[in-house]
Amino acid sequence: MDLICDQFAYDLNLNCTIQLISSSPRLNFTISVSDNTSVISSSLSKNTLLVNYFGLPISTYLMESNGVFSQYRIILLSNTEFKFDSHVIGFELFTFYNLRTSIPIEIISFNKMCDSTIICSEYLINQATITNYKKVASFSIETTKNGLNTVFLKRPIWVPKGSMMVIKLTSFATVYYDCSGQAKYSDYFLTPLSETSFKIQRLNNDYNYAHYFNALLDTKFYINSYYFMHEFPDENIYNINVTLKSKILHKKIKIIKTRLIQTICSNSTFTVDKIIQCSSIVTTFNKKDEVEVNVQNDSKMVHNFSDSNYISYFGIDVPTYIDKENIESSIMGDFILPLTEFKFDAYILGFQFYAYKSGQISVYVS
């Protein structure tokens, strides 16, 4: 059972997903929030998948947005965590230019390093090393083609709950990874420190990159994903509890104020007829916010955001078409773009600009 919520709340509304693994597609549970609201599972929209693997969904065709590591690496596949005791019957992986290449594999357990109150993938997020782990199995598999490979074992292997896959990749044995950043958990580079310990490092500091490598099971199970949106009364710290039979999942949610006001008075040092010209840039995640402007003569103006639209960029609005006669294209060099100043901490997903002609542009963020 897992609960995942968005990073930001808009208008005090937060989107969350509850993911449950079970042998049944129909589950009854309740959600209670510390603001005295309650939700039942039958009122939620959901998506159900019947699968026989631990890992990531793999398409028979991968787009160019997926990548490979070309040098020798030991990779811990955190998305392959075994959610229950299982028998492994084989593996599914998407390889890159591999023709009959051998890939060494280990299945490791963490020997109670992460207990029943937290799944191991969550525990690893705040760790720098793995200590006192135990090898469950160690062997090699052979790929036969470039692309999607399915390899079956001669006999099943029993694997305890909480275990994960480790693969060793070289320039001759490479596996595609999903670099969209949308995987549930990040895979990790492993650096051996001793016979029983590893240093771990995320594949990417900001995004959850994960390899297309799955452990196939002798049984199928349902992944039930339930979606809900909750409106909180105010900025505060709240508790969300999901109750399924005798199990309770606790999650602490922090609804924070993310606001910024910048005011510029362009003629503050040379007014004409005692008139000052000012403009303000206000950033908020809540349309219910209001901006109040007071001046010394007791006049007051109030602005709200009811007619405002959400944007997802720092900078200026980029048009879809510009007449080339109105474009100055002869200037070259390095430029600082003050309007792109980040008003709050954020992840960059990409860039949008209007190009005069094709070419290469170097972008620096500092």
**How deeply is 105 buried, as exposed, middle or buried, from its count of CB atoms within 10 A (0-12, 13-18, 19+)?**
buried
What's the rounded mean pLDDT across residues 215-241? 88
3-state helix, strand, coil in the chain (%, to 5): 5, 45, 50
Evaluate whether 2 touches 249 at the Cβ level (below 8 Å): yes
SS3 state at 14: strand
311 vs 106: which has the higher pLDDT: 106
Average pLDDT, the chain: 82
- The per-residue pLDDT for 326 is 65
**Dist CA 352 CA 340 (whole Å):** 11
What's the rounded mean pLDDT across residues 328-333? 73
Q: How many residues does the chain have?
A: 366
Evaluate whether 146 touches 126 at the Cβ level (below 8 Å): no
- The per-residue pLDDT for 64 is 44
Evaluate whether 241 touches 253 at the Cβ level (below 8 Å): no
Q: How many CB atoms lie within 10 A of CB 32?
A: 15
What are the tens digits of pLDDT across the range 159-206?
Answer: 999 899 999 887 677 788 887 777 888 999 999 888 878 899 998 888
92 vs 286: which has the higher pLDDT: 92
- The per-residue pLDDT for 106 is 93
Task: Give 312-337 as a DSSP string.
Answer: --SS-PPPS---GGG------S----
SS3 state at 363: coil
Q: Give ∠ CA 107-108-114 in degrees, rounded to 5.
A: 140
- The per-residue pLDDT for 82 is 93
What are the tens digits of pLDDT across the range 15-48?
Answer: 888 888 888 887 888 888 888 888 887 777 788 8
Q: How many CB atoms lie within 10 A of CB 65?
A: 9
What's the rounded mean pLDDT across residues 236-257? 82
Q: For residue 170, give both structure tokens.
A: 């070289």
What are the tens digits of pLDDT across the range 132-165?
Answer: 788 899 988 888 788 888 999 999 999 999 899 9
% of the chain at pLDDT higher than 90: 18
Task: Report whether pLDDT(69) > 70.
Answer: no
Task: Report whether pLDDT(117) > 70.
Answer: no
Sort strands 188-194 and 30-33 into parallel, antiparallel or unpaired. Answer: unpaired
What are the tens digits of pLDDT across the range 253-293?
Answer: 888 766 778 787 877 777 777 777 887 778 777 777 778 87
**How deeply is 184 buried, as exposed, middle or buried, from its count of CB atoms within 10 A (0-12, 13-18, 19+)?**
middle
197 vs 66: which has the higher pLDDT: 197
Please, how many CA atoms are within 13 Å of residue 76, restricted to the half-sphere of its CB?
28
- The per-residue pLDDT for 201 is 92
- The per-residue pLDDT for 354 is 81
- The per-residue pLDDT for 65 is 45
Task: Report whether pLDDT(340) > 80.
Answer: yes
Task: Give 73-136 as a DSSP string.
Answer: EEEEEGGG--SS-EEEEEEEEEESS-SS-EEEEEEEE-TTSS-TTS-HHHHHTT-SEEES-EEE
What are the tens digits of pLDDT across the range 283-324?
Answer: 777 777 778 877 776 677 777 777 777 778 888 887 777 776
Nearest partner of 163 among 78, 262, 102, judged by Cα: 78
68 vs 83: which has the higher pLDDT: 83
Please say whether the dihedral angle defined by the alpha carbons of residues 161, 127, 204 and 97, taken in this order, is positive or negative: negative
- The per-residue pLDDT for 67 is 55
